């Protein structure tokens, strides 16, 4: 460790684990995006709040930027360190600190994986309901920093709804103990909610108190084949009316094509333009009869043409794999990705308009749509044609983004539904937020992080 700044850090915090190993730098310097070459100064793994504070104070003194780092499963470059930053990895702060059965809260360190939170809640007969495909690797601190959503938002809301308390180290190295698990706390600005979704630009989450809830009754998973886009929202409205929905997701035939090529089990013999995966409470035979009645009704209306239902938890998982396996199955095709939202009712008009624009300008593109349609959240993926030069493709995709931003603006939507702004969406923040809003955000950042060391260049 020849860099004097690192020698100083090692001197100040002798117990702190630090690495400048090239493998570590590459691995911890990036997230699931691949646009930037990782080039951090070093990786540090603090194991206590005091060590996090120490690192932040050192960073202020030395003028080194800090990139807070969790599971790095993000898709917006929020955890990328490509400019000589210190990556502050929370991997070692991954324990459950406490459980209160009366408050029904679980207190955890930020580096715990989402799946470990699920398991800890389940062991106590309760549920932490925020869930998405990256659950095995993503960490709760990153979930909080991006206000992560996922597949059960329709029933349980985003991460924000489940944060009862936060301990945060600010950009000045101070520790805030926010809300302390209170259910009611009408005492001015709720700073906890500023931190949630702040993408590491205000401070570092060092402890979180999570609300838990009762597990839902047994559920069933249904896969529906939908013949047309305008039928999708009718099926959704009908399902929400008749069933207690846990999730309502859609994907296109192109998405299914890639998942099947990746080894998933084919659900139907014929292909159909759209598919819906929905999960709903099926506690008793009446609930199951309601589900069948819902299907028969939609079939009668011509809104669905085929369907399959899980007869076991294993089959439920197999049906979910058709939806959750999409991202992984697309990865080899170097997809251009966007994660956008519009009001639920505006989904078909927005999607039709966007698809028409794409077909007209880039008829050779393989465009894959999927997402949390019940939340108005769509993931659009454009796959790089094998014969197209990567640079040309990236250029064309930038134009796709402009088209997307304009179309979203016409429909009052957002360029980032749940992935965050990070580096990827930064040029487009102004399309979602007004100038006054952005000025206020900058002002807030200046107060929390006067030296601008917290994840600089991200979001703002």
Partner 1 sequence: MKVLVGYKRVVDYNVRIQVKPDGTGVVTDGVKLSANPFDDIALEEALRLREKGLAEEVVVVGIGPADLTAHLRNGLAMGANRAIHVQTADAVSPLTAARTFLKLIEKEEPGLVILGKQAIDDDANQTGQMLAALWDRPQATFASKVEITDGKATVTREVDAGLETIEADLPAVITTDLRLNEPRFIKLPDIMKAKSKPIDVIELGSLGVDAADHIKTTHYSAPPKRSKGVMVKDAAELVAALKQKGLL
**What are the residues binding partner 1 (CB under 8 A)?**
122, 217-218, 222-224, 265, 267-268, 283, 285, 288, 292, 295-296, 299, 306-315, 317-319
Q: How far apart are CA 23 and CA 39, in angstroms?
A: 11
**Cβ of residue 447: shortest distance to partner 1, in angstroms?**
42
Neighbours of 235 (CB within 10 A): 24
Q: Which residues pair with 204 in a beta bridge?
A: 169
**Cβ of residue 352: shortest distance to partner 1, in angstroms?**
27
Q: Which is nearer to partner 1, 88 or 221 (CB)?
A: 221
Neighbours of 289 (CB within 10 A): 11
Q: Which is nearer to partner 1, 177 or 296 (CB)?
A: 296
- List the one residue out of 136, 89, 21, 57 whose CA is nearest residue 81: 89
**Cβ of residue 218: shortest distance to partner 1, in angstroms?**
4
**Cβ of residue 336: shortest distance to partner 1, in angstroms?**
32
CA 175 vs CA 172, 307, 309: distances in Å = 9, 53, 50
**Cβ of residue 276: shortest distance to partner 1, in angstroms?**
12
For residue 339, give every residue at least 6 positions away whose Cβ sits within 8 Å of its Cβ, in sequence order, or none: 75, 371, 377, 378, 379, 416, 417, 418, 419
**Cβ of residue 105: shortest distance to partner 1, in angstroms?**
22
177, two tokens: 């103990």
For residue 171, give every residue at least 6 positions away whose Cβ sits within 8 Å of its Cβ, in sequence order, or none: 56, 60, 202, 203, 448, 449, 450, 451, 452, 453, 454
Q: How far apart are CA 396 and CA 55, in angstroms?
A: 42
459, two tokens: 């979001």
40, two tokens: 């951090």
Q: Which is nearer to partner 1, 312 or 390 (CB)?
A: 312
**Cβ of residue 207: shortest distance to partner 1, in angstroms?**
22
Q: Which is nearer to partner 1, 310 or 329 (CB)?
A: 310
Sheet bearing 163-170, strands edge to edge: 96-100, 105-108, 203-211, 163-170, 175-178
N- to C-terminal Cα separation, the chain: 32
Q: How far apart are CA 366 and CA 385, in angstroms?
A: 7
* Cα radius of gyration (the chain): 23
CA 364 vs CA 385, 398, 405: distances in Å = 8, 16, 21
CB-count exposure of residue 29 (10 Å: 0-12, 13-18, 19+): buried
Q: How far apart are CA 136 and CA 35, in angstroms?
A: 24
**Cβ of residue 288: shortest distance to partner 1, in angstroms?**
8
Q: Which is nearer to partner 1, 294 or 365 (CB)?
A: 294
**Cβ of residue 307: shortest distance to partner 1, in angstroms?**
3
Q: Which is nearer to partner 1, 84 or 217 (CB)?
A: 217
Q: Which is nearer to partner 1, 32 or 274 (CB)?
A: 274
**Cβ of residue 434: shortest distance to partner 1, in angstroms?**
47
**Cβ of residue 57: shortest distance to partner 1, in angstroms?**
30
Q: Which is nearer to partner 1, 281 or 339 (CB)?
A: 281
CB-count exposure of residue 194 (10 Å: 0-12, 13-18, 19+): middle
Q: Which is nearer to partner 1, 14 or 314 (CB)?
A: 314
Neighbours of 232 (CB within 10 A): 24
Q: Which is nearer to partner 1, 203 or 267 (CB)?
A: 267
Q: Which is nearer to partner 1, 182 or 292 (CB)?
A: 292
Q: How far apart are CA 23 and CA 40, in angstroms?
A: 11
Q: Which is nearer to partner 1, 306 or 353 (CB)?
A: 306
**Cβ of residue 235: shortest distance to partner 1, in angstroms?**
13
């Amino acid at each position: 460790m020849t860099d004097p700044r690192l020698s100083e850090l090692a001197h100040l915090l002798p117990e702190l684990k630090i690495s400048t190993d090239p493998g570590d730098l590459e691995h911890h310097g990036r997230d699931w995006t691949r646009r930037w070459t990782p080039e951090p100064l070093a990786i540090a793994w603090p194991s206590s709040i005091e060590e996090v504070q120490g690192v932040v104070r050192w960073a202020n003194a030395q003028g080194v930027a800090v990139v807070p780092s969790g599971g790095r499963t993000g898709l917006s470059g929020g955890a990328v360190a490509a400019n000589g930053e210190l990556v502050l990895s929370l991997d070692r702060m991954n324990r459950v600190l406490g459980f209160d059965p009366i408050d029904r809260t679980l207190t955890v360190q930020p580096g715990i994986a989402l799946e470990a939170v699920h398991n800890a809640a389940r062991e106590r007969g309760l549920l932490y309901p925020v869930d998405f495909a990256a659950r095995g690797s993503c960490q709760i601190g990153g979930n909080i920093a991006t206000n992560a959503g996922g597949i059960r938002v329709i029933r349980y809301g985003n991460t924000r709804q489940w944060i009862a308390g936060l301990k945060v180290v600010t950009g000045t190295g101070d520790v805030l103990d926010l809300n302390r698990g209170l259910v009611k706390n009408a005492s001015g600005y709720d700073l906890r909610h500023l931190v949630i979704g702040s993408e590491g630009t205000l401070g570092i989450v060092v402890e979180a108190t999570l609300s838990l809830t009762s597990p839902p009754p047994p559920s069933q998973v249904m896969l529906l084949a939908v013949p047309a886009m305008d039928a999708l929202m009718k099926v959704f409205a009908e399902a929400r009316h008749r069933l207690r929905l846990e999730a309502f997701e859609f994907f296109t035939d192109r998405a299914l094509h890639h998942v099947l090529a990746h080894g998933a089990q084919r659900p139907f013999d014929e292909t159909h333009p759209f598919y819906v995966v929905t999960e709903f409470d099926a506690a008793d035979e009446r609930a199951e009869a309601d589900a069948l009645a819902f299907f028969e009704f939609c079939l009668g209306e011509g809104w669905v043409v085929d369907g399959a239902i899980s007869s076991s938890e294993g089959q439920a998982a197999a049906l979910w794999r058709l939806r959750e396996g999409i991202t992984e199955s697309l990865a080899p095709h170097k997809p251009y990705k966007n994660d956008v939202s519009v009001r639920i009712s505006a989904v078909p008009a927005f999607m039709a308009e966007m698809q028409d624009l794409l077909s007209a300008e880039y008829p050779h593109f393989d465009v894959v749509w999927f997402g949390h349609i019940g939340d108005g959240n769509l993931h659009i993926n454009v796959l790089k044609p094998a014969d197209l030069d990567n640079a040309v493709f990236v250029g064309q995709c930038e134009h796709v983004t402009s088209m997307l931003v304009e179309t979203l603006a016409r429909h009052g939507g957002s360029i980032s539904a749940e992935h965050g702004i990070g580096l990827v969406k930064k040029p487009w923040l102004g399309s979602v937020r007004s100038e006054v809003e952005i000025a206020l955000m900058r002002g807030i950042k200046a107060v929390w992080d006067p030296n601008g060391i917290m994840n600089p260049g991200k979001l703002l």
